[in-house]
């Protein structure tokens, strides 16, 4: 009886919560067992215009880059002693990728490239063919190569910084070995990409509305179990595809994301700021329950009742607060209880 009451209450709260958007169930869930495959590799980016690793064939600089190039040339029957190499157009990099467990040999995927040494920029470089493995002790599953799309972020360009230590190659990876088959589950289950009880209740309700009262059940905030109807027992894939295309209303998430490098603030949901006073590095933020003071105070942000995250962010930017200080202020507001939301600083 208690369980039914709790589920009914959760259903009522989920249906009454603010709605951010309507989306497909397949966009907010994944099928149990469908774990993405992550690959990694060590490679070389060549063709840099003097912005590669400061590598020399002696005890200084990025020695690993020199030895990597020497080994690479040796494979083409070109034997050059490592101590005779002085490279500025080559950079050692780490290559990473994530691909679907259902990708077949010949399928392509994006790869990310990040500098391992002291290269000042990877812009304009080309990744030499690089084996990718799921585990350093395993045989390669895929290879990656191609021209990098690398450019300085906006915040770096504003500060006249030219260092670009990472890049991306669209469709630069090719799967060359078949992956292990995924065993079919006896009872299909949906995993929420971000566990949330209200959303799980909505997902189950949307499925039951189309496929019957016993077709879906909420197990916990991150799991919805499915019961395949008798009419779809001989075609499980069609049933799962139909479930994925059902529309579900996603509750608003009280979350604030602050980029500590650019000062960009993104808020999900209608987040309001309660009364608080913060003094930080010459900046004062005062939020009152009643109307804000009408007389401006130099170096102070004065806000009244009903102030939003946007009001705080705009006021801090107008005062010239540094990006890192913007994140610190929002973290302090959360710690004081003035903001009832998750604050993520990245």
The whole-number average pLDDT for the span 63-85 is 80
Whether 166 and 41 map to the same domain: the answer is yes
Number of folded domains that form the chain: 3
Mind listing the pLDDT tens digit for each residue in 188-232?
999 999 899 999 999 999 999 999 889 999 999 999 999 988 888
Q: CA 71 to CA 102: how far, in whole Å?
A: 35
Whether 162 and 207 map to the same domain: the answer is no
Domain that holds residue 324: 257-345
Whether 171 and 47 map to the same domain: the answer is yes
Residue 42, pLDDT score: 95
Confidence of residue 179 (pLDDT cuts 50, 70, 90): confident
Mind listing the pLDDT tens digit for each residue in 106-127?
999 999 999 998 888 998 899 9
Higher pLDDT among residues 67 and 161, named by residue: 67
Residue 269, pLDDT score: 64
Residue 296, pLDDT score: 66
Q: Does 261 have pLDDT greater than 90?
A: no
Cα separation values, 127 from 82, 98, 124, 228, 285, Å: 21, 18, 10, 47, 48
Whether 130 and 230 map to the same domain: the answer is no
Whether 193 and 308 map to the same domain: the answer is no
**Are 262 and 313 a contacting pair, CB within 8 Å?**
no
Residue 15, pLDDT score: 42
Residue that terminates a domain, selected from 109, 142, 175: 175
Residue 187, pLDDT score: 80
Whether 213 and 156 map to the same domain: the answer is no
**Are 178 and 77 a contacting pair, CB within 8 Å?**
no
Q: CA 124 to CA 35: how far, in whole Å?
A: 34
The whole-number average pLDDT for the span 31-57 is 87
The whole-number average pLDDT for the span 314-337 is 86
Rg (CA), the chain: 27
Q: CA 71 to CA 339: how far, in whole Å?
A: 56
pTM metric for this prediction: 0.70
Residue 54, pLDDT score: 81
Whether 217 and 306 map to the same domain: the answer is no
The whole-number average pLDDT for the span 161-188 is 84
Residue 92, pLDDT score: 92
Cα separation values, 255 from 38, 89, 202, 271, Å: 28, 43, 20, 8
Mind listing the pLDDT tens digit for each residue in 138-163?
899 999 999 998 765 554 555 444 67
Whether 327 and 285 map to the same domain: the answer is yes
**Alpha-carbon dihedral sign for residues 260, 263, 269, 274:** positive
Q: CA 1 to CA 8: how far, in whole Å?
A: 11
Residue that terminates a domain, selected from 120, 143, 175: 175
Q: Which residue has the tokens 């130099």?
A: 298
Whether 307 and 229 map to the same domain: the answer is no
Whether 241 and 312 map to the same domain: the answer is no
Whether 241 and 333 map to the same domain: the answer is no
Residue 252, pLDDT score: 74
Confidence of residue 292 (pLDDT cuts 50, 70, 90): low
124: left (phi over 0), alpha (psi -120 to 50) or beta: left
What percentage of the chain exceeds 90 in pLDDT?
35
Burial 207-223 (b: 16+ CB within 10 A, else e): beeebeeebbbbeebbb
**Alpha-carbon dihedral sign for residues 108, 109, 110, 114:** negative
Residue that terminates a domain, selected from 175, 195, 212: 175
Higher pLDDT among residues 302 and 190, named by residue: 190
Please, what is the average pLDDT of the chain? 83
Confidence of residue 18 (pLDDT cuts 50, 70, 90): very low
Q: Which of 202-206, 261-265, 292-296 has the highest mean pLDDT?
A: 202-206
Confidence of residue 294 (pLDDT cuts 50, 70, 90): low
Whether 127 and 97 map to the same domain: the answer is yes
């Amino acid at each position: 009886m208690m369980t039914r009451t709790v589920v009914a209450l959760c259903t009522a709260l989920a249906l009454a919560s603010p709605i951010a958007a309507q989306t497909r169930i397949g966009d907010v869930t994944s099928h149990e067992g469908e774990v993405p495959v992550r690959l990694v590799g060590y490679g070389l980016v060549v063709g840099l215009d003097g912005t590669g690793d400061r590598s020399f064939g002696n005890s200084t600089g990025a020695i690993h880059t020199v030895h990597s190039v020497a080994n690479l040339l040796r494979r083409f029957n070109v034997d050059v002693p490592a101590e005779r190499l002085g490279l500025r157009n080559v950079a050692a990099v780490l290559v990473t990728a994530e691909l679907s467990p259902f990708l077949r040999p010949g399928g392509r995927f994006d790869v990310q490239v990040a500098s391992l040494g002291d290269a000042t920029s990877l812009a304009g470089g080309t990744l030499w063919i690089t084996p990718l493995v799921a585990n350093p002790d395993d045989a390669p599953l895929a290879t990656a190569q191609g021209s990098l799309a690398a450019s300085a972020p906006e915040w770096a360009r504003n500060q006249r910084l030219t260092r670009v230590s990472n890049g991306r190659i669209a469709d630069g990876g090719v799967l060359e070995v078949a992956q292990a088959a995924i065993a079919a589950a006896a009872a299909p289950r949906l995993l929420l990409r971000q566990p949330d009880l209200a959303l799980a209740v909505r997902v189950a309700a949307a499925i039951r509305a189309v496929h019957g009262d016993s077709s879906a059940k909420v197990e916990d905030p991150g799991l919805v179990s499915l019961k395949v109807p008798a009419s779809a027992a001989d075609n499980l894939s069609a049933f799962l595809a139909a479930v994925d295309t059902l529309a579900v209303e996603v509750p608003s998430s009280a979350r604030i994301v602050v980029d500590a490098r650019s000062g960009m603030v993104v808020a999900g949901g209608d987040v309001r700021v309660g009364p608080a006073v913060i003094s930080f590095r010459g900046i004062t933020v005062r939020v009152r329950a009643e109307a804000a003071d009408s007389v401006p105070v130099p170096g102070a942000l004065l806000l009244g009742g009903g102030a939003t995250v946007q009001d705080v962010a705009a006021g801090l930017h107008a005062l010239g607060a540094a990006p890192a200080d913007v994140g610190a202020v929002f973290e302090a507001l959360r710690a004081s209880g003035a903001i009832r939301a998750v604050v993520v600083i990245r």
